[in-house]
Amino acid sequence: MPLYEYQCEACGLKFEVRQKFSDQPVTECRDCGGPVKKLISQTGFALKGDGWFRQGYAPAAGKCENAAASDTGCAGCPKAANG
């Protein structure tokens, strides 16, 4: 389940709530009962290294010379794989 971060507009308390996607957002502060807003938090997910890029997104050397002009992509491009 995702972890959401909220901040109370009345007392300034920041707190986290583990909720299902289908759960309604929290509307009240757990300490003072004031209104809260959902914060956009930094994710814990990061892609590091160049392996993920080379395997799925980088064009092969010598390919895609005319792909931009024709907007059709080529066999080595994500545009062709996803298109």
- Tell me the two tokens of residue 48: 């590091």
- pTM, 2 dp: 0.52
Domain ranges of the chain: 3-39, 51-82
57 versus 11: the higher-pLDDT residue is: 11
Mean pLDDT of 4-12: 96
Locus of tokens 């914060």: 39
Rg (the chain; Cα; Å): 22
Contact yes or no for 8/34 (Cβ under 8 A):
yes
Give yes or no for residue 83 having a pLDDT over 50. Answer: no
Give the Cα separation of 15 and 12 in Å (integer). Answer: 10
Helix (H) or strand (E) holding 8: strand 3-8
pLDDT tens digit string along 34-53?
A: 999 999 977 777 777 666 66
pLDDT at 71: 53
pLDDT at 45: 74
Mean pLDDT of 14-39: 94
